[in-house]
Structure 1
Amino acid sequence: MAQNEWWKGAVIYQVYPRSFNDTKGDGIGDLNGIIERLDYIKSLNVDAIWISPFFKSPMKDFGYDISDYRDIDPMFGCIDDFDNLIEQAHQRDIKIIIDQVLSHTSNEHPWFVESRQNNKNDKSDWYVWADANPDGSPPNNWLSIFGGVAWQWEPRRCQYYLHNFLTEQPDLNFHNPDVRQAVLDNVKFWLDKGVDGFRLDAINFCFHDQELKDNPAKPEHLRQGRGFSEDNPYAFQYHYYNNTQPENLDFMAEIRALLNEYPGTVSLGEISSEDSLKTMAEYTSGGDKLHMGYSFELLTNDYSAKYIRETVSRLESVMTEGWPCWAFSNHDVERVASRWANNGKTVNTQQVKMLTALLGSLRGSVCMYQGEELGLGEAEVAFEDLQDPYGITFWPNFKGRDGCRTPMPWSHTETHAGFTDGKPWLPVAQPHSLASVDLQEQDPNSTLAQYRAFLAWRKTRPELLTGTIEFIDTNEPVLAFYRTLGNTKLLCLFNLAEQTSEFVVEESIKDSMDDLAHHTGELTAGKVTLPGYGCYFASI
């Protein structure tokens, strides 16, 4: 594989910097905290770090509302700290991918401060502005993901502006070529700094329908997905016109053209559309758009062999040119150890170990969220401790994203589990302290130890890095598929339930991976017996 395609089959470790490691004692993680833990990250056998936003921001949405794309927010450090992070990571052969939030800015960004003043200034057309209806109501029925109308009245201009997310996150007008160029210039700034790629947040939200057509209603039984349950009116519509517009494909090509000037850099687009798998295929097609697509299809509550098989198979059928990236957890959803737990919310460490192997065996690259290697479950956060505006708005039906964003537990003996000497911005969950890094490093059978072991073994299996995938039609709860590269073929079996399951092996087994800790199945007389949450790998 070409050196410039290092990202194919890579494992990308997501760091949420606020909650990773605090070196200043203010209760908020920082860039130096990441540097301090680079040897730990290296020990995980991952290939790259994706760092969530650390740019200057009012922090209404914890960094996803950017007021200066070219500066570090003081709470995270300074630009010299970032330069040092790049240097230290590269010395350890770790790539650095950073978030870029291109579709919208903070309402405190200088562009918006100017744009909102009147409709005659140089930035007047840099955001999505629209006149009110004759009765004073918003120009159409578009809704915000965070609840309520997606339009906010601006008395200075006597117009509404569009915000697909928080009111404090006005949407840029990508129909304006000056906006696109300014955005690309900001991306180039970080390329010149030496970053290895970008995770592009909500990248299908860049363009809107210029006619501002109303979104059609969605039937009640289809109102689901990524927290958009029936209690969030966002789920009441098909979002055909406020995102995923055809013009965005040309902008993806502009991004790719810029990255092509920096060999070895990569783009990973976060996509959430009415048909995210189809959009992923479109946005990665032709070799001239995004390198990889990333969506929320496996970040849902549906935990079944059938759903996983059908989801991955459908993407395989439509993504004939691009490259997928899969995840089971991130900073926006309930942690997988709780979300897919079969016994309420009780974390089962054997299930967590199996899920690491399953995620690492799917075709594509992998994003793994900080704490996944420890098997952390969703933290319970009291209402008075909530920070997430999404959770505060929809409490108690939806408790928001704070439960997956609580601090990393480094030491069970230290205050706040070694995350900070001060008061943490979110409380450390007591169950997390009992799953701390220092405790798990003493146990060769821990979730952490087996995470490291599996990812090390995965690097030795080219079939798992870049091979094809072919699913075997099985009954619940067994998920089975082949990964094939050239003349080598690997059988991968997973038991998604607590109960023992069996799988009949028709082909002759050439090499069973009995020395692999995750390999817990037993082959007898052409039949593999899989214990609860067991795995089995064999060369065919």
Structure 2
Amino acid sequence: MSGFSDEAAWWQSAVIYEIALISFQDSNGDGKGDLTGLMSRIDYLKWLGVDAVWLTPIYKSPFRDLGYDISDYCSIDPTFGSLDEFDHVLKALHAADIRLILDLVPNHTANDHAWFIESSSSRNSAKADWYIWADPAENGGPPNNWRSRFGGTGWEWCEARRQYYYHSFLVEQPDLNWRNPQVRAAIADVMRFWLDRGVDGFRVDASAVLIKDQLLRDNPPNPQAKDKPPPQRQTPVFTDDRPETMDCIEFIREVIDSYPGRVLCGEVQGKIDRIGHFYGNDRPRLHLPLNFALLDSQWDALSLQATIDAYLNAIPEHAWPVWVVGGHDKQRIASKIGKAQMRVLAMLLMTLPGTPFFFMGDEIGRKRVPIPSDRVHDPFEKLVPGFGLCRDPERAPMRWDGSAGGGFTNGDPWLPLEPGGTPNVAEQQRSERSVLALFRALIMLRHEHACLSQGGYEPLRSHNDVLAYRRTKGGAQILVALNVATEPRKWHWLGRGRLLMSTHLDRRSETLPEASILLRGNEGVIIALEAR
């Protein structure tokens, strides 16, 4: 791995970029991104400055749910390419000093996976207990009231076994039985297959739901269910975030710890006050439980300071924070806060303590792409319509330029792109003050100043619409002040400083003679304090 440090905690100073490969770059005109397309964009990733990329699933799959329904964990889906092409991409990324994180989906497989085909064939098959099977209730119906996240019962009848199997997600995504040591061993073998090829870690999908209640107890009704989608009308105490789940995560961590310098990220659920459990204490769990608190926060200074404080207080003292502002399952934050505040968000993300994650397109301020009803792919929109759950607007192909195919494809893209051709990468690369230019400059600044990537954090009192805090390391001190209002705000601090960067990218390396600055509307600043 060219240029890589032997430091195991490389991920603490890394900036991580999520890519949905199907929407990143098409190389063969079929309208779907692929590994060859990714290879052609490594120069862009290097230019942007990211340290690692996380790929959504690229394994063999019928692709009913963005590839999270896996038919074979140890092969590449032909849509994306081959194992040889994967190896070439991994080698090229490493040569560019960029690490690669793969999605690990240990909770369920596709129903055409060889494991499930064998398990469903007979109660006496060698893999009979590899999935969650149960006899019918006394009335012949499902064993209990557990629901699928995609609507309806979570149980599906199998005539060959005369039993039901449980599926947390689509009916075609049967849940594996993590109480079975053989299942754990099989997933460990999957991990080793990819780790031996040189991947740098995994993001564990649905890590909070790996174990379900052994007694199959019914979930109680959700007292806050009014106006919620049907799948959310229960409180999933017997299906989600069970105590035994932590043992599963600890097992996965043991596997990855046998490969030095690898990282384990994870999709976790629940409120901020639960996220600390996913780090572990005596037995380590996830290095980076993904934290989406900024996406869920109200966008004002007081709410943001409370969100940040609550999260940092909820994680263990030894834990490394992580901040995620976009993803394949999350609505684009630019649609929530607007184009001007995307600059403020970028500065917030790159200056908070911890590891920043963002999703392809966030760096150009991309909003949700309108998807006509006849182009919808997302099963959420098909099975639970009318609640705004569709994720296709986030998953639309990357727009590299203003052409009809967006520089993404010469064919018909699998999902439509933005009408009008903007925002796009080429246009913003030509502008010295674009959102893309800001993301790149902030990543560079973060790499240049250990104070930002590794330093301590001290909150300052936020008021008058300005969110503020201090980063410290050794004798270095950096102040960050973010105006979340559209009008100017004056901000005061103690000491003398030098302005390192403004979100407007028109003020840099200015000496500030007084301990105050007039922040323009939607402006954030980074100030290096002079040593006393």
Range of TM-score over shorter length:
over 0.9
The offset of 1:385, in angstroms, is 1.0
Q: Distance in 1 between matches of 2:120 and 2:129?
A: 10
Give the aligned partner of residue 109 of structure 2.
105
Using the alignment, how far apart are the partners of 2:15 and 2:501 within structure 1? 24
CA contact (8 A) 2:460 2:468 kept: yes
TM-score by length of structure 2 reads 0.93
Moved more, 234-243 or 331-340: 234-243
1 CA distance for matches of 2:6 and 2:307?
29
Which one of the candidate residues 357, 366, 373 is aligned to 2:356?
A: 366
1:55 deviates by 0.3
1:497 aligns with 2:485: yes
SS in 2 for 1:74: coil
Q: Aligned-pair distance for 1:276?
A: 4.8
Counterpart residue type for residue 491 of structure 1? L
Aligned counterpart in structure 1 of residue 309 of structure 2, from 306, 310, 313: 313
Find the counterpart in structure 2 of residue 226 from structure 1.
none
SS of 1:415's partner is: coil
Aligned-partner Cα distance in 1 for 2:295–2:346? 14
The 10-residue stretch of structure 1 (35-44 or 136-145) with the greater mean CA deviation from structure 2: 136-145
Q: Deviations over 1:288-333 (max 9, x none)?
A: 2221110332232632333332222222223122222211111112
- Please report how far the alpha carbon of residue 280 of structure 1 lies from its aligned counterpart in structure 2 after TM superposition: 4.0
2-side partners of 1:313 and 1:195: how far apart?
Answer: 34
The CA distance in 2 between the partners of 1:526 and 1:175, in whole Å, is: 60
Name whichever of 69-78 and 285-294 sits farther off.
Answer: 285-294
SS in 2 for 1:64: coil
Matched, 1:88 2:92: yes
Match of 2:472 among 474, 481, 484: 484
**Mapped partners of 2:523, 2:87: distance in 1:** 43
Q: Is the Cα–Cα contact under 8 Å of residues 249 and 283 in structure 1 kept in the other structure?
A: no
TM-superposed deviation, 1:128:
0.8
Q: Does 1:467 align with 2:465?
A: no
| Aligned match for 2:251, one of 251, 254, 262 | 254
1:277-426 aligned at under 5 Å gives the runs 277-286=273-282, 288-300=284-296, 302-319=298-315, 320-341=317-338, 348=339, 350-412=340-402, 414-426=403-415
2:176 corresponds in structure 1 to 172
- State how 1:224-263 maps to structure 2 within 5 Å: 230-263=227-260
- Once residues 130 and 233 of structure 2 are traced to their aligned partners in structure 1, the CA distance between those partners, rounded to angstroms, is 29
8 Å contact kept, 1:330–1:369: yes
Give me the whole-angstrom Cα distance separating, in 2, the residues matched to 1:191 and 1:179.
18
Counterpart of 1:508 in structure 2 is 495
Partner of 2:123: 119
Structure 1 match to 2:167: 163
Moved more, 62-71 or 211-220: 211-220
Q: Distance in 2 between matches of 1:73 and 1:390?
A: 23
Please say which of residues 44-53 and 255-264 is displaced more in the overlay.
255-264
Offset, 1:62:
1.7
* 1:154 corresponds to which of 155, 158, 172: 158
C-alpha contact 2:12 2:320 (8 A) present in aligned 1? yes
- Structure 1, 286-295 or 275-284: larger mean CA deviation: 275-284
Distance 1:510 1:502, change over 3 A: closer
Contact 2:278 2:286 in 1 (8 A): no
Q: Is the 8 A contact 1:141 1:149 kept in 2?
A: yes
Q: What is the deviation of 1:286?
A: 4.3
CA-based RMSD: 2.1
1:47 aligned onto 2:44: no
Instruction: Return the alpha-carbon distance in structure 2 between the equivalents of residues 496 and 429 of structure 1.
Output: 27
**Alignment partner, residue 429 of structure 1:** 418
User: Do 1:27 and 1:422's aligned partners in 2 also have CA atoms closer than 8 Å?
Assistant: yes
What is the Cα deviation at residue 471 of structure 1?
A: 1.9
Name the CA shift for 1:395/1:126 in 2 (closer, same or farther; >3 Å): same
Q: In the alignment, is the contact (CA less than 8 A) between 1:14 and 1:330 conserved in 2?
A: yes
Identity in percent: 37
Structure 2 match to 1:531? 520
Check whether the contact 1:373–1:451 (CA below 8 A) recurs between aligned residues. Answer: yes
Alpha-carbon spacing, 1:372–1:472, altered in 2? closer, same or farther (3 Å): same
* Deviation (angstroms), 1:435: 1.9
CA contact (8 A) 2:297 2:307 kept: no
Inter-partner Cα distance in structure 2 for 1:519 and 1:280 = 40
In 1, the alpha carbon distance for the partners of 2:319 and 2:219 equals: 29
Matched, 1:446 2:450: no
Contact in 1 for aligned 2:53/2:99 (Cα 8 Å): yes
Tell me if structure 2 keeps the 8 A contact 1:454–1:517: no
SS in 2 for 1:256: helix
- CA distance in 2 between counterparts of 1:102 and 1:392 reads 25
Distance, in Å, in 2 between the alignment partners of 1:214 and 1:490 is 52
Q: Does structure 1 retain, via aligned residues, the 8 Å contact 2:221–2:234?
A: yes
The structure-2 alpha-carbon separation of the partners of 1:367 and 1:286, relative to structure 1 and needing over 3 Å to count, comes to: farther
For the residue of structure 1 that corresponds to 2:459, the secondary structure is strand
* Structure 1 unmatched runs, 5+: 224-228, 342-347
- Please tell me whether the aligned partners of residues 207 and 268 of structure 2 are also in contact (alpha carbons under 8 angstroms): yes
Q: After the TM superposition, list the runs of 4 or more consecutive aligned residues in structure 1 that deviate by more than 4 angstroms.
A: 514-525
- For residue 503 of structure 1, report the CA deviation from its aligned partner: 2.5
One-letter amino acid of the structure 2 residue matched with residue 60 of structure 1: R
**Are the structure 2 counterparts of residues 444 and 123 from structure 1 closer, same or farther at C-alpha, using a change threshold of 3 Å?**
same
CA contact (8 A) 2:272 2:311 kept: no
- SS of the aligned residue for 2:471 comes to strand
Task: Return 5+ residue gaps in structure 2 as ranges.
Answer: none
Contact 2:370 2:393 in 1 (8 A): yes
Query: How does the TM-score come out when normalised to structure 1?
Result: 0.92
Q: 1 CA distance for matches of 2:303 and 2:123? A: 50
In the alignment, the residues of structure 1 paired with residue 303 and residue 167 of structure 2 have an alpha-carbon distance, to the nearest angstrom, of 33
Report how far residue 336 of structure 1 moved: 1.0
Shift of 1:460: 1.1
Segment drifting more, 351-360 vs 99-108 = 351-360
* Stretch of structure 1 that moved more, 529-538 or 10-19: 529-538
Mapping 1:169-208, distance limit 5 Å: 169-208=173-212
